[in-house]
Structure 1
Amino acid sequence: MHWILLRGLTRERAHWGDFPERLRAAFPGQHFHLVDLPGTGIHYREASPATVRAIREQVCRQVSHIPRPFSILALSMGGMVALDWAQHAEPGELQHLVLINTSSGFSRPWQRMQPAAWPKILRLLVRRELFHRERDILRLTSSRDIPLSLCKAWYSIQRQRPVSFTNARNQLLAAARFKPLEKRPMADALILASKGDRIASWYCSAELERRWCWTLKLHADAGHDLPLDEPEWVIRQMGDWIPGTR
């Protein structure tokens, strides 16, 4: 089985840390492909579209070489791209869908972006001092103690492949505008959410469960970056949900 991994707003493949290696160890024989959204990672010099649909179309072109069917594991804004993808996929293209702390236009604006997070994110977008910006992003997206080594690693990522203000703004606009179609794209999907998420309320994930009868699993206190805070919990939920992996 082939998996595509998508990160969130202004983040890239390197921000997964050792999570892909943990996945490969937990699910031997499966292939995990780390894919960057336009304007981030290896595509940081490219312009990011300002709609989820256009972002999804560019990502689809990137992965045209990956054998079908494949599965998608996506975090935050990456989950919006994955959800849009599932609703426009060709028959037999997608096998499994795992969404982590994502949101959509089905939820209230103050649930999609909690009021306390708005001024922090706006300040982060314009802040020029990279080390402190990356440290503050970690403090916002994680509910765990942040080691200095991790702050340095994220600072190094941004130094090497900086996300421009314009691309960050376009991604934010795309996320804010996104509303899925009404149709349920798959019979089931795994939705993972954190009650300790300070960016998107877990009620956004609960709305997808309510609307489409998908499988929702909640972590009691992890932050928005659930694979960073609780990678083994995420892997355990996947193993329990995907047939034949346990």
Structure 2
Amino acid sequence: MHWILLRGLTREQSHWGAFPRMLEEAFPGHRFHLVDLPGTGVHYKDPSPDNIAAIRDKVRHSVSHIPAPYSLLGLSMGGMVALDWSQHAPEGEIQNLVLINTSSGFSPPWRRMRPGAWPRIARLLARRELFDREADILRLTCNRPVSLDTTKHWYSIQRQRPVGIGNAYAQLKSAASFKPLPQRPLPDALLLASRGDRIVHWTCSEVLEQRWQWTLKVHPSAGHDLPLDDPEWIIHQIKNWLPE
């Protein structure tokens, strides 16, 4: 099984940290492909579209060399792209769907972006000092202590492959305007949410659970970046949910 991993707003494949290696060890029969959204990572020099549908088209094109079917795992805005892909894919192209701390137009704006997060994110996008900015992003998105090595690594990523302010705002506009189609794309999907998420309220995942009768698991204390805060918990939930 080929898994496509998609990260969130202004983040790229290197921000996953040790999580992909842990997935490979936990699921030896599966292959995990880290795919960057346009405007980030290997595509950092490319302009990002300002809507999820166009981002999804570019992601699909970038993985066209990987044989279908796929399983999708998306975090935050990456989850929006994964959900949109599953709703527009030919039958059988998407087999499994895991969405982590994502949101959609089915939830009100103050749940999709918690009011206290707006001014902090605006200041972060405008901040010039890269090391302090990355440290602040980690403080906002993680509830567990983050090592200095992780902060240095994130700083190094931004130095090597900087996400431009135009791409950051295009992605923000894409995320804010995303609303899925009303039809359920798959009989089941795994929704993972963090009760301690200070950016996206966990009930945004609950809305999808109730709308489409999907499986929801809520972490009691982790922050928005659940793969950094508690990757073992995610792997445990996927193992319990995946069909044999």
**TM-score bracket for this pair, using the shorter chain length:** over 0.9
**Corresponding residue for residue 222 of structure 2:** 222
Shift of 1:29: 1.8
Shift of 1:239: 0.3
CA–CA distance in structure 2, aligned partners of residues 60 and 100 of structure 1: 20
Is 2:105 the counterpart of 1:92? no
CA–CA distance in structure 1, aligned partners of residues 233 and 243 of structure 2: 17
Is 2:177 the counterpart of 1:177? yes
Compute the TM-score of the two structures, normalised by the length of structure 2: 0.99
How do 1:164-243 residues align onto structure 2 when only pairs under 5 Å count?
Answer: 164-243=164-243
**Corresponding residue for residue 125 of structure 1:** 125
Shift of 1:146: 1.6
The root-mean-square deviation of aligned C-alpha atoms, in Å, is 0.5
**Corresponding residue for residue 13 of structure 1:** 13
**SS at the partner of 2:4?**
strand
Compute the TM-score of the two structures, normalised by the length of structure 1: 0.99
CA–CA distance in structure 1, aligned partners of residues 146 and 234 of structure 2: 19
Shift of 1:147: 1.3
Instruction: State the 4+ residue runs in structure 1 displaced beyond 6 angstroms.
Output: none
**Corresponding residue for residue 50 of structure 1:** 50
- Structure 2: 5+ residue stretches without partners: none
Would you say how many aligned residue pairs link Structure 1 and Structure 2? 244
**SS at the partner of 1:34?**
strand
**Corresponding residue for residue 146 of structure 2:** 146
**SS at the partner of 2:222?**
coil
Shift of 1:62: 0.3
1:181-235 deviations in Å (ceiling 9; x for gaps): 1000100000000000000000100000000000000000000000100000000
**Corresponding residue for residue 77 of structure 1:** 77
Shift of 1:7: 0.1
CA–CA distance in structure 1, aligned partners of residues 148 and 21 of structure 2: 22
**SS at the partner of 1:162?**
coil
**SS at the partner of 1:236?**
helix
1:19-72 deviations in Å (ceiling 9; x for gaps): 000000000021000000000000000000000000000000001111111100
CA–CA distance in structure 1, aligned partners of residues 88 and 146 of structure 2: 38
**SS at the partner of 1:181?**
coil
**Corresponding residue for residue 111 of structure 1:** 111
1:74-124 deviations in Å (ceiling 9; x for gaps): 100000000100100011100000000000000010000000000000001
CA–CA distance in structure 1, aligned partners of residues 174 and 70 of structure 2: 25
Q: Report which stretch shifted further, 146-155 or 19-28.
A: 146-155
**SS at the partner of 2:175?**
helix
- Structure 1: 5+ residue stretches without partners: none
**SS at the partner of 1:95?**
strand
